[in-house]
């Protein structure tokens, strides 16, 4: 179950759908079916950089990145994971976890700006979110 996240940047909210709340982060699915792409967004108001988190929160963030990364790799069989906290367009701290495949439209370059986002069909999106929730509930 995902709780309300009143401090969520409007652009992150518009481009993604909620999946679950972990101890620190809200997990969201980017609405781009081109790449299996999750966001981890620490629920810490004002956090822009990882260094803005307490030492305990930084450790929790790394554990949650590892959890979600392993989950998406297992679910997709991807060739590579891209994990990044850029924030050039959206300053609110968020971490991208993107499953990449040799031959995807942006391979081997970054995904940003390569092809226009392709929104999930509602049924596909809902099915993927349900599978993600089931995986996260099992840990």
pTM, two decimals, is 0.95
Q: Where are the domains of the chain?
A: 10-127
Report phi then psi at 69, rounded to 5. -60, -45
Q: Are strands 16-21 and 37-42 parallel, antiparallel or unpaired?
A: unpaired
Per residue in 5-50, pLDDT tens? 779 999 999 999 999 999 999 999 999 999 999 999 999 999 999 9
Task: Round to whole Å and give the CA distance between 10 and 31.
Answer: 14
Task: Round to whole Å and give the CA distance between 73 and 80.
Answer: 8
- Report the CATH fold assignment for 10-127: HIT family, subunit A (3.30.428)
Per residue in 54-106, pLDDT tens? 999 999 999 999 999 999 999 999 999 999 999 899 999 999 999 999 999 99
């Amino acid at each position: 179950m995902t709780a309300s996240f009143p401090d969520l940047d409007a652009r992150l909210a518009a481009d993604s759908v909620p999946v679950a709340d972990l101890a620190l982060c809200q997990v969201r699915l980017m609405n781009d079916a081109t790449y299996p792409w999750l966001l981890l967004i620490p629920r810490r108001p004002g956090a822009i950089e990882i260094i803005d988190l307490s030492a305990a929160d930084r450790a929790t963030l790394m554990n949650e990145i590892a959890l979600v990364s392993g989950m998406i790799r297992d679910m997709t069989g991807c060739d590579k994971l891209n994990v990044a906290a850029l924030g050039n367009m959206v300053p609110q701290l968020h971490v991208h976890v993107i499953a990449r495949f040799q031959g995807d439209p942006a391979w081997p370059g970054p995904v940003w700006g390569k092809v226009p986002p392709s929104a999930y069909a509602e049924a596909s999106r809902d099915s993927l979110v349900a599978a993600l929730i089931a995986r996260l509930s099992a840990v």
